[in-house]
Homo-oligomer: A and B are copies of this chain.
Amino acid sequence: MNPSEGRFITGGENIYPSYEGDYYFTFAEPPDRYILESGMPLGPITVNYQTYGTLSPSGDNAVYLAHALTGGSLAGKHPKPEKESGWWEPLVGPGKAFDTDRYFVICSNVLGSCYGTTGPSSIDLSRGKNFAMNFPVVTIGDMVRVQKKLLDHLGVRELVCAAGGSMGGMQALQWAVYYPDMVRSVIAVACSAVFSPIGIAFNQAERKAIMNDPSWRQGDYYGTSFPYNGLSLARMIGTITYRSNESFEQRFGRSFQNAEMCNQFAFHEQFAVESYLNYQGEKVTYRFDPNSYLYLSKAMDLHDLGRGFTSFQAALKRVRCPVFLMGINTDILFYPQEVRGLAVEMRRCGIDALYEELKSPHGHDSFLIEFEEMEKYIKYCLSEGEKQ
């Protein structure tokens, strides 16, 4: 478990944050290679991860937290106090929902991402340059199988819980299907068992935004250019689907940015909601690799718990732990009725599945915002899970 340097070379500078407290695990080193769900080989594979708490001698107190599209392994508090917050920081720590006095909490950056885990910006050793679009398509299943390798390496024998929201929730569900003997409960928020056609449609538009940008250069922009406009627009479209009209009404309404100085009839004058989306679009360009955005959104599109089994129901029937689902009433990317429908289908397949609906104006992203409600639900799920 030697911390090592970040693996990404983008024009000679590593633009993505690499935490000093990060750990790295590498497997499938030459001459070995790892066979992906597609049948394509990949190796070596490095995984960036963080842990919180202490693993029990019997390796049975672990919790795996799976991050969403542009997230990373920093789920909890950064080891250096002045550094940025983790994406579920209010939920991870001593006495918190994922109580690190009791649990050994692990979060790793997913395969295909750009925060230290192998992805399209990594160096393809066979060519001596970044993979770019030569990177193989990866799936949610591949991400989870890589996570299993990491957990084996760490000596984890059982997961008290696999949990996450959005793409993270997809992984949590996939864990229960792939490794039923290892997972004792699943908490999956604002996600589905099979990605929806409208979700694919939005992802396609986001990918087009990147690929339309001449600076994308068919993916070969490393060290040369950066598809700033394309990635910004992709994130803007994404951000609309992560929020809701209720959220925009509450925060911005129809007010203009610089309301006092503005001429509302000038073409380039912006509403406050436009300025907010521009800001979100710009921000992501400082921290995320456009090719990773393409590959991870493709992995979401391909998400289908039933793939590789004789049927969707056959996949669900493998699950042996309780599954705690949560929909969000204003979510326009994963409609709450779809999440609820999955709970119904799971119960039909013999799973002890529970559905809860989070009421929030903030849309899909509520799982990264409504920590008080999330904490209550997670504590309840973990205590119910332990009764099994």
Contacts and interface: CB of A to CB of B under 8 A. Distances in A.
Interface of A: 36-40, 133, 136-137, 139, 194-202, 204-205, 208-209, 212-214, 229-230, 232-233, 236-237, 240, 243-245, 248-249, 252-254, 263-267, 271, 273-274, 277, 294-295, 298, 301-302, 304, 332, 335
A258 to B, nearest CB: 16
A204 B267 contact: no
A248 B201 contact: yes
B244 A198 contact: yes
Contact of A200 (B139, B201, B254): B254
Contact of A198 (B137, B195, B205, B240): B240
A214 B213 CA distance: 8
A273 B214 CA distance: 25
A181 to B, nearest CB: 27
Given A197-B248, A197-B253, A237-B237, 5 more contacts: A40-B265, A197-B254, A199-B245, A204-B277, A212-B230
B245 A200 contact: no
Contact of A245 (B264, B295, B335): B335
B236 A204 contact: yes
Given A233-B212, A265-B39, A271-B200, A240 B304 contact: no
Contact of A252 (B197, B236, B243, B264): B197
A137 B265 contact: yes
Contacts of A40: 265
A264 B38 CA distance: 8
A298 B136 CA distance: 41
A270 B277 CA distance: 28
Given A204-B274, A245-B196, A274-B201, A38 B332 contact: no
Contact of A229 (B194, B198, B212): B212
A252 to B, nearest CB: 5
Nearest to A37: B265
A188 to B, nearest CB: 19
A213 B244 CA distance: 27
Contacts of A304: 254
B205 A277 contact: yes
Contacts of A264: 302
Contacts of A295: 267
A166 to B, nearest CB: 16
A301 to B, nearest CB: 7
State the 3 A-B residue pairs at the shortest beta-carbon distance, nearest first. A38-B265, A197-B248, A198-B245
A146 B133 CA distance: 51
29 contacts: A136-B265, A196-B245, A196-B248, A196-B249, A197-B245, A197-B249, A197-B252, A197-B273, A198-B240, A200-B274, A201-B248, A201-B273, A202-B240, A204-B236, A204-B274, A204-B277, A205-B233, A208-B233, A208-B236, A209-B209, A209-B233, A212-B212, A212-B233, A237-B237, A254-B304, A264-B302, A267-B298, A271-B301, A332-B332
Nearest to A195: B254
A61 B58 CA distance: 86
Contact of A240 (B201, B213, B230): B201
A201 B277 contact: yes
A151 to B, nearest CB: 25
Given A196-B249, A212-B212, A273-B197, A205 B236 contact: yes
A203 to B, nearest CB: 9
B205 A240 contact: yes
A196 B273 CA distance: 10
A229 B196 CA distance: 25
A287 B212 CA distance: 21
